Chains A and B, each alone.
Chain A
Amino acid sequence: MNALSLRQLNKTYDGGVVALKDVDLEVTPGDFYGLLGPNGAGKTTIIGIVTSLVRPTSGQVSVFGHDILKSPWEAKSNLGLVPQEFNFNQFETVSQIVLNQAGFYGVEHSVAERRAEQYLRELDLWDKRNANSRTLSGGMKRRLMIARALIHEPRLLILDEPTAGVDIELRRSMWTFLRDLNERGTTIILTTHYLEEAETLCRNIGIIDGGEIIENTDTRSLLAKLKSQSFLLDIGKPLQEIPTLGDFPVTPIDERTIEVEVRGNQTLTDLFARLSESGVSVTSMKNKSNRLEELFIRTLGRTKPTQEAS
């Protein structure tokens, strides 16, 4: 039984925007899952449907085996949401916001008060507990939304760009907090536009573009794919057979063109050494575009995703 299971999810908004096309997604219990994709890809729409803020056009969603439409109580009780945009009452104080949310989940007041203190302290908001929410800084508001989402201790926490507009120091402390939470057993799904964040936190990553999941794999394989480049080589004389170039995978395109993949740990110098060993003379070469990489550039605004890793 998965923490989250989406089957054939479709969403067309009133007005005709097709936001999701046959999305299937499984997130296993205990996972730290990253959902990446450029602006307008459909991330918030997926989260909206899971948290019942958006009505699906068709398809099914279940949270720990509970269908969100058939057993809303069980499904919703297991879910916590940190939305992309601030959505709390401007006139309420930090502790009122957290305690009211606990009440809406049916948490006893005494339990809620204990947890509120715990989470507000952990998130460094305890001193602000009596402050009006509108007087908080952006970073404090983000942390308040995390405290609010945890007050009923959900088994699945969904965070929609939790570190957007947060400074490096705070971002790192949020990472530590989220990683601890995940280690204590909470399944976490997060969307982000920072590759470093996905790389540091997520075990598995899904990539969505134009409402379709185009990649769903573990972080390591994804990075390997991203760090590899493909080249199209034009060969001087027509090839009799496909040359073997050591560890470099070769795909023939036509009799004068081959495609060669260069992985992150390999170098072009090695490639050319192999080429001359096999007696292949290259007249020209060009870089083949990598859809995944292009997508990453749009998603993350980085030409070389590997550069950001630390």
Chain B
Amino acid sequence: MAGFYPAYSRQTLIALRTLVGKETHRYLRIWLQTLVPPAITMTLYFVIFGSLIGSRVGPMDGFSFMEFIAPGIIMMSVITNAYTNVVSSFFGAKFQRHIEELLVSPTPNYVILAGYVAGGVGRGLFTGLIVTIIATFFADLKIHSIPITISVVFLTAVLFSLGGFINGVFARKFDDIAIVPTFILTPLTYLGGVFYSLSMLPDFWARLSMANPILYMVNAFRYGILGQSDIPLATAYILILGFITAGTAFSLWLLRHGTGLRS
């Protein structure tokens, strides 16, 4: 397949390592903008919704309200941070034009994609870890299944990093990188069962919620931690993997075509 250079596997690996290093270095360098805000916001969620309000809300699906919302809040921070990292970094590279450093080099397109996605996954998981540690101060979290928890959070981070990448390819101005997170991602996450169980909703709304992909991810992750989910786990995996496949194919096509990159 075009784009693979078996004769240059060593060089390709060096290019990938360089890009992942550069991306990681970027979000660590600006940790005050990348890692601290989610820690503060999510702490507030735990304090306000979990402790203050949660103590008046009865148990949800058999768990305390704090236990119930913790996985959703972790997932919310992973989704937002993975997405934001890639879209800002990639658009920033286009805006400052240093993306040309990559474009003139022989780095294959799939390495460019993998490098940016790795940066997003790295920041998503790092934030997820910070929020998880914060959560343990508020709730006694015992992980039901480590493989499910890890695989769901990892795949979700990959998926939203891809989303951020595609957004970054199409973005032409700074406004364009905020539209999707504000108008699509945040509402879908709030409506994705972070704070409530699907069983609480009237039939119609419950059914409508099933069309929200984020609901599956939040629930699959909650299953990993609590062992309880509103939806079948297999559906969640199929959905996430399906989106990842489609997102990867589309991103590679955009890169090959040079959309938004080569005039």
A residues with a Cβ closer than 8 A to B are 13-14, 48, 51-55, 72-73, 76-77, 79, 81, 83, 85-91, 96-97, 99-109, 148
Contact (Cβ within 8 A) A101 B105: yes
B258 contacts A by Cβ under 8 Å = yes
B144 contacts A by Cβ under 8 Å = no
Nearest 7 A-B pairs (CB), nearest first? A106-B11, A103-B18, A104-B105, A87-B97, A76-B106, A73-B106, A89-B98
Give every chain B residue within 8 A of A72 (Cβ-Cβ): 106
A53-B100, A88-B98 are known contacts. Are A104 and B262 too (CB-CB below 8 A)? no
Q: How far is the CA of A216 from the CA of B25 in the complex (A)?
A: 47
Give every chain A residue within 8 A of B97 (Cβ-Cβ): 85-87
Could you mark each residue 126-153 of chain B with 1 if its beta carbon is under 8 Å from any beta carbon of chain A, else 0? 0000000000000000000000000000
Add 11 more A-B contacts to A89-B96, A100-B18 (CB < 8 A). Answer: A14-B263, A53-B262, A103-B18, A103-B19, A104-B15, A104-B101, A104-B105, A104-B106, A105-B105, A105-B106, A106-B14
Contact (Cβ within 8 A) B101 A55: no
Could you mark each residue 250-263 of chain B with 1 if its beta carbon is under 8 Å from any beta carbon of chain A, else 0? 00000000100011
Least CB distance, A228 to chain B, in whole angstroms? 40
A85-B97, A103-B18 are known contacts. Are A52 and B103 too (CB-CB below 8 A)? yes
Contact (Cβ within 8 A) A91 B29: yes
B residues with a Cβ closer than 8 A to A are 5, 7-8, 10-12, 14-15, 17-19, 21-22, 25-26, 29, 93, 96-98, 100-107, 258, 262-263
Q: How far is the CA of A104 from the CA of B26 in the complex (A)?
A: 17
Measured CB to CB, the nearest residue on chain B to A72 is B106
Contact (Cβ within 8 A) A87 B98: yes
Least CB distance, A135 to chain B, in whole angstroms? 15
Give every chain A residue within 8 A of B15 (Cβ-Cβ): 103-106
19 A–B pairs (Cβ distance < 8 Å), ordered by A: A52-B103, A73-B5, A73-B7, A76-B106, A87-B100, A88-B96, A88-B101, A89-B93, A96-B22, A100-B18, A103-B19, A103-B21, A104-B105, A105-B11, A105-B105, A106-B10, A106-B14, A106-B15, A108-B14
Give every chain B residue within 8 A of A85 (Cβ-Cβ): 97
Give every chain B residue within 8 A of A89 (Cβ-Cβ): 93, 96, 98
Measured CB to CB, the nearest residue on chain A to B115 is A104
Give every chain A residue within 8 A of B22 (Cβ-Cβ): 96, 100
Give every chain A residue within 8 A of B106 (Cβ-Cβ): 72-73, 76-77, 104-106
Give every chain A residue within 8 A of B10 (Cβ-Cβ): 106
Measured CB to CB, the nearest residue on chain A to B112 is A104
Q: How far is the CA of A90 from the CA of B29 in the complex (A)?
A: 13
Give every chain B residue within 8 A of A54 (Cβ-Cβ): 262-263
Give every chain B residue within 8 A of A13 (Cβ-Cβ): 263
Q: How far is the CA of A52 from the CA of B97 in the complex (A)?
A: 14
A48-B263, A87-B97, A87-B98 are known contacts. Are A106 and B8 too (CB-CB below 8 A)? yes
Measured CB to CB, the nearest residue on chain A to B16 is A103
Q: How far is the CA of A107 from the CA of B105 in the complex (A)?
A: 11
Q: How far is the CA of A107 from the CA of B258 in the complex (A)?
A: 25
Contact (Cβ within 8 A) B14 A76: no
Max chain A CB contacts within 10 Å: which of B8, B14, B97, B106?
B106
Contact (Cβ within 8 A) B262 A81: no
Contact (Cβ within 8 A) B18 A76: no
A100-B18, A103-B18 are known contacts. Are A79 and B96 too (CB-CB below 8 A)? no
Q: How far is the CA of A104 from the CA of B105 in the complex (A)?
A: 6
Contact (Cβ within 8 A) B104 A53: yes
Give every chain A residue within 8 A of B102 (Cβ-Cβ): 104
Measured CB to CB, the nearest residue on chain A to B103 is A53
Q: How far is the CA of A159 from the CA of B77 in the complex (A)?
A: 45
Measured CB to CB, the nearest residue on chain B to A80 is B104
Give every chain B residue within 8 A of A86 (Cβ-Cβ): 97
A52-B104, A103-B17, A103-B18 are known contacts. Are A90 and B262 too (CB-CB below 8 A)? no
Q: How far is the CA of A70 from the CA of B223 in the complex (A)?
A: 49
Q: How far is the CA of A289 from the CA of B70 in the complex (A)?
A: 81
Least CB distance, A246 to chain B, in whole angstroms? 54
Contact (Cβ within 8 A) B19 A104: yes
Give every chain A residue within 8 A of B104 (Cβ-Cβ): 51-53, 76, 79, 81
Least CB distance, B114 to chain A, in whole angstroms? 13
Max chain B CB contacts within 10 Å: which of A89, A96, A106?
A106
Give every chain B residue within 8 A of A91 (Cβ-Cβ): 26, 29
Give every chain B residue within 8 A of A14 (Cβ-Cβ): 263
Give every chain A residue within 8 A of B29 (Cβ-Cβ): 91
Q: How far is the CA of A134 from the CA of B101 in the complex (A)?
A: 17
Q: How far is the CA of A101 from the CA of B262 in the complex (A)?
A: 19
Give every chain A residue within 8 A of B101 (Cβ-Cβ): 87-88, 97, 100-101, 104, 148
Q: How far is the CA of A79 from the CA of B100 in the complex (A)?
A: 14
Measured CB to CB, the nearest residue on chain B to A134 is B96
